[in-house]
Structure 1
Amino acid sequence: MNRYLQQLRKDSKDGKGASDSIFQLGSILRNGWLIVSVAIIVATLGIIYALTMTPVYESNMLIEIKRNASLPGENQAETPAATEIEILRSRSILSGVVNSLKLDITVEPKLFPVVGSFIAKKNKKVSNPGLFGLGGYVWGSEFARISVFNMPAPLMRKPFVLTIADNHEFTLTQEELAIRMRGQIANMARAHTKYGLIEILVSETSAKPGAQFVVSRIPASQVVAGLQKSLAISEKGRQSNVIGVSLRGSKPELISRILNELGSEYVRQQVAEKSGEAKKALAFYNQQAEESKKILQKLDARLAEVLRRHGTSDLSEEARTLAEQSVALQTKLAEKEQKKVELLGRFAELHPEIITATRNIEDASRDLSRIEAKRQVIAAAQQEIISLNRDKQINSEMNVALLNTRQKLDALTQYNNVHVRLVDRAEVPMQPVTLKLSVMIVTACLLGLVLGVLASMLKNAIVGRHQGAEGVESVRRIMISAGNPNYEVDNRADKKSTES
């Protein structure tokens, strides 16, 4: 009997290699209900996830950092992009973006759970709000824009419900805090509560009466911090001075607006900074040029006064004439003195001719002294004029240098206004970076089928092991009852050889 069972096992092992795959496939397909059930459950869950999942879009822009034109002798930084990246991510820039786009005010239409978002995306028209007229749910392209939403600090982050009413009116409620106020669209509405003053300006709406929106106000610092984490800013290439900025989000129009506003705010601040520096420099040079002009005017006035005082406009000519007169008087004086010496040899001191000669010498000496005194005055005036002309020349050259520097600064200011350039502005992305809805549905169905097959294989393995254990136990009982006590030993040996 033992030999017969061993031969039976051997024949079974030989035939197993040829038909194993067919048997396994058949055993898997026999659990069709299990495969279909698992596939339907997984596919249903996947489709629900695909329908409710919000797609993620990505938008980007490019900014070029140009080198600054500099004055001679000034050093220019070689790689300004690393610094500009930190400036782009700074609170100064992002705060301007948040304030301009009102990113700290969130306005979301009240959608029905699970399927409301999917239906609203497909519906491009304004819908009738509510589910069977109740709930205030919207199902289409409704929107509301809020320009002002001021509130005390304790109410920050609290959700308010904005309900559109008839006659361009609305109500704003917060059930937990028992706050309720009414207002007119496009008009500022105010309400005094125990927490403080609430101000809201609903600038525009597109919804039917009864539609509801969930609005809240988030601290601007929190929004700025979130933007700092979400923005991906990097230099394109090594030392290229071209910066790429990208942002991901569920609203394609909003992320493109944020990026474009970021670029515009960055350029505005760069221009303002350069213009401020240029204005300070221009003010300094204008002040210096004005002072130089006043000095020149004073020098011209002093020069005119000197010439007026001497009654001539050409002191050089007058000095030359006086020099000629002085030489002539000196010659005449020498002749008179020579003549007196000759007369003294012939006459006494009191002789009339000697007295006349002495008087002529004295007259010539007085004329010569008067001319020499006048020459000294003219010489002093000439020296003063020379000094004034030298000062005029120095100040004129300084004034010309100041004017040239100011003109160069004007040119540099105009150039620095385009220190940065938006190479590519952010466009509204059309395709999400996540998988498409159709791809996700097909993937969910395939995944359900694969998991169904795996579940069938797992079931077959569990059932096969259980049935094998029961078969071996029944054979053992039959052999023992047939009076073969060595079956246990042979069976264990055969089992060990099979395992080895």
Structure 2
Amino acid sequence: MPKGTEPAAAAVYTDVNAAGDDVDLHRLLATLIEGRWIIVAAAIASLLIASVYLGLARPVYRANALVQVERGKSAFSAEFDNVAALFGQQAPEAAGEMELLRSRMVLGRAVDSLQMTVYAEPQYFPVIGRAMARRHAGEELAPPPFGLAEFAWGGEVIEVVHFEIPQRYIGRVFTLIAGEDGRYELIDPEGSRLLHAPVGKLARVALDDEELVLQIDVLHARPGTQFTLVSRSRQAVIGELQGRVRVIERGVRSGIIEITLEDTDRQQAADVVNEIAKQYLRQNVDRKSAEAAQRLAFLDEQLPAVRRDLQAAEDALNRYRNREGSVDLEREAASLLQQIVNVDQEITKLRQEREALIRRFTPAHPSIVTVDAQIHDLQVLAERLEQRVRGLPQTQQLILRRKRDVEVGTRLYTGMLDSYQQLQVIKAGTLGDVRIVDRAVAPLGIVEPNRPRTLMVALVLGLAGGVGFVFLARMLRGGISDPELIERYLGLPVYATVLHSQIQQKLRTRMRRRSERENYVLADADPQDPAVESLRNLRTALHFATLGADSNVLMITGPMSGVGKTFITMNLASVLAMSGKRVLMIDGDMRRGCLHEYVRRPRDPGLSELLGGAQALEQVIQTTNVDQLEIIASGVIPPAPAELLLHRRFAEMLADVSRNYDHVLIDTPPVLAVADAGIIGRFTGAALLVLQAERHPLRQIEHAARRLQLAGVNLRGVVLNDLRSATTAYGYGYGYGYRYDAK
């Protein structure tokens, strides 16, 4: 090993981390280009998975309806505004109405009306059955593939109008099997047959000392087709519906409320939304009608008493006039009478209102407290007016009081009677505070899955996954591909960088399959291949590699198997021979040597026979199809290859061939796998270390170089093989092994 190699190699541990911190955009781009087919494959796979999902996923539809809450208006018509104002009717706030729409009261009525507690559905073939049935068009039943008649394949319809079971069977699955002639069988959760009944008739059967009641009005299915029948808990269905129904207000304080529901059945989505709106409107109307009925009941109680009081006041006034004669009031007394009548009328109305309120609230309620305060103020005013009355003459006082009673009674009775008649009309024609603006219709468009969005997300995820995999694989490899790093941190010159060859891959495949071909040497099959051009550059650099060497014998080795050292040996020898040099190749790997396969020559006799003394040198040298190129194969696998290499015959053989050939190239086993390379290298003039781009961490290269140095090998430089891109990221790791299991 040249001077300075060891210190340079030791510098790896101090400088390589700093170099690894630099971000090279060109190197990152090269990594992406190198892994472009992996990225494309990941994107295609992701799109295929998304397409399968879109084909199998159940479509989700969205139905909506609009409800208007009238703000600041009475629920009654304009001609009854005074009556509505008298009883304090106000339009409810939209926020409260939205909560009412989601209430168990409204949703429970919708659940009961649509019988949503009963779940009946055909049984489909796992995974693909539902999707196939969904794509079936027409009312005819789809034929069952492969004779699987127990599953539904399209066109099946079931309508259950009544399903009543004992409480302990709520939520458990019953199986219904379509039969011949419009009949069906019902199987309980334990698998026992419960009943065999016709469609359209109510069927009853005893079930655990209780009764099961079932009526099916529509059953369109092939005999033998199975259906799932479940009676779910009403509370659970309402809770599920509360989670699915979305209620929002359109605009700010617009009073327009939107009810939205998503479902896999487009018609059911519309039916449920419309039923919710209908039940909400009904409860609103019922509430207003009940309020009017309550006020009518109150007036029914009050009218007879007011009428009796009015009749008594009129009788008293008539008796006084008959006894005393006609008495006229002065202008001042007449004005005072009008004020007293107005105050008394207001007090009476407030007392009636308080009596109505006390039926709903406690005396401490703010509404009752306000009414009490108003009554107190009016009573104070009435006392003042009464004091003024006492100042009148006795006759006028009496006539004034009699007329006041009659006047107050008449106005009160007339007003209550008028209100009574208006409330009768209101009760009969109550519309409520809300109205349905737009009813839900069966939606045509699919909400989920969103095909463009799903495919776009799948494409992005596929590309991201592919990019991530490429960079992760690059990080896990931890190998280097930059010749500058090898020279900088190991002090070993890189004599050539051999590019990756697609043609060589095809040749290797043919060689493994033993396909008919004269030879599998890339330099002969395609002399213009970029990899061959790289080896021509190596041929030129060999002059400097062997400069000052003891012999023209060159060892080509690598840290581990599978790095391409045999490929380099074969094609470099071919390039040298094509330039007019006489070249000998020696397969020094007596364990797994394969150099002979490239030129379609037998493995034996070879090096093992020569070193064992069984064959002479002339008997083991074989010609090839390349002029001036000859080969010594590895021979039969010996029991101890390393011991044969230590025999003097090996050194003598190298001395002989060195005199007879211009170049002698020896392909050896991996350095880190066995000791053979170190033994062979001591008898050679120089050695080249073949590295595969992006495979070896710097520590591994340094370890291989150190082992050769300790064995006394003249390691002159490196050949970087199988370079796929101009520059790539690099890294290193410590966990490599020395298992020798490939060429």
Scaled to the shorter chain, the TM-score interval is: 0.5 to 0.7
| Of 86, 97, 100, the match for 1:87 | 100
1:23 positional shift: 5.2
In the alignment, is residue 467 of structure 1 matched against residue 480 of structure 2? no
State the Cα deviation string for residues 116-153 of structure 1 (Å, max 9, x = none).
11111111233246543335211113221101100001
1:357-368 matched pairs, under 5 angstroms: none
In the alignment, is residue 47 of structure 1 matched against residue 51 of structure 2? yes
Q: TM-score of the superposition, structure 1-length normalised?
A: 0.67
In the alignment, is residue 226 of structure 1 matched against residue 240 of structure 2? yes
SS state at 2:289 partner = helix
SS state at 2:444 partner = coil
Q: 1:155 matched to which residue of 2?
A: 169
In the alignment, is residue 112 of structure 1 matched against residue 125 of structure 2? yes
Identity rate, percent:
25
1:435 positional shift: 3.6
Q: 2:183 matched to which residue of 1?
A: 169
Matches of 1:75 and 1:281 in 2, distance apart? 12
Matches of 1:18 and 1:393 in 2, distance apart? 102
Q: Do the aligned residues in 2 keep the contact of 1:79 with 1:239 (CA within 8 Å)?
A: no
1:155-304 matched pairs, under 5 angstroms: 155-176=169-190, 178-194=192-208, 196-286=210-300, 288-289=302-303
SS state at 1:92 partner = helix
For 2:104, the aligned partner's letter is R
Q: Do the aligned residues in 1 keep the contact of 2:54 with 2:449 (CA within 8 Å)?
A: no
1:129 and 1:216, CA in 2 relative to 1: closer, same or farther beyond 3 A? Answer: farther
1:43 and 1:290, CA in 2 relative to 1: closer, same or farther beyond 3 A? Answer: same
For 1:405, the aligned partner's letter is S
1:419 and 1:442, CA in 2 relative to 1: closer, same or farther beyond 3 A? Answer: closer
SS state at 1:467 partner = coil
Q: 1:372 matched to which residue of 2?
A: none
Matches of 2:414 and 2:30 in 1, distance apart? 104
| Of 132, 148, 158, the match for 2:146 | 132
| Of 29, 35, 45, the match for 1:28 | 35
1:159 positional shift: 0.9
Matches of 1:150 and 1:393 in 2, distance apart? 65
For 2:56, the aligned partner's letter is T
| Deviates further, 456-465 or 203-212 | 456-465
Structure 1 residue runs without a partner (length 5+): 307-314, 320-385, 485-497
Q: Do the aligned residues in 2 keep the contact of 1:36 with 1:452 (CA within 8 Å)?
A: yes
Q: Do the aligned residues in 2 keep the contact of 1:68 with 1:416 (CA within 8 Å)?
A: no
1:452 positional shift: 4.0
Structure 2 residue runs without a partner (length 5+): 13-18, 75-82, 327-399, 480-694, 715-730, 733-743
1:78 and 1:238, CA in 2 relative to 1: closer, same or farther beyond 3 A? Answer: farther
State the Cα deviation string for residues 464-493 of structure 1 (Å, max 9, x = none).
524244433333344555699xxxxxxxxx
State the Cα deviation string for residues 219-270 of structure 1 (Å, max 9, x = none).
1111112222222223334433332322222222212211110110011111
**Alpha-carbon RMSD:** 4.4
For 2:177, the aligned partner's letter is T
1:482 and 1:178, CA in 2 relative to 1: closer, same or farther beyond 3 A? Answer: same
1:326-365 matched pairs, under 5 angstroms: none
Q: Do the aligned residues in 2 keep the contact of 1:152 with 1:195 (CA within 8 Å)?
A: no
1:166 and 1:456, CA in 2 relative to 1: closer, same or farther beyond 3 A? Answer: same
Structure with the bigger percentage of helix: 1
SS state at 1:423 partner = strand
Q: TM-score of the superposition, structure 2-length normalised?
A: 0.47
1:225 and 1:160, CA in 2 relative to 1: closer, same or farther beyond 3 A? Answer: same
1:22 and 1:90, CA in 2 relative to 1: closer, same or farther beyond 3 A? Answer: closer
SS state at 2:125 partner = coil
For 1:473, the aligned partner's letter is H
In the alignment, is residue 56 of structure 1 matched against residue 66 of structure 2? no
1:72 and 1:436, CA in 2 relative to 1: closer, same or farther beyond 3 A? Answer: closer
Q: 1:143 matched to which residue of 2?
A: 157
Matches of 2:701 and 2:419 in 1, distance apart? 107
1:473 and 1:73, CA in 2 relative to 1: closer, same or farther beyond 3 A? Answer: same
1:17 and 1:218, CA in 2 relative to 1: closer, same or farther beyond 3 A? Answer: closer
| Deviates further, 77-86 or 186-195 | 77-86
For 1:27, the aligned partner's letter is E
SS state at 1:132 partner = helix
1:172 positional shift: 1.0
Q: 1:65 matched to which residue of 2?
A: 69
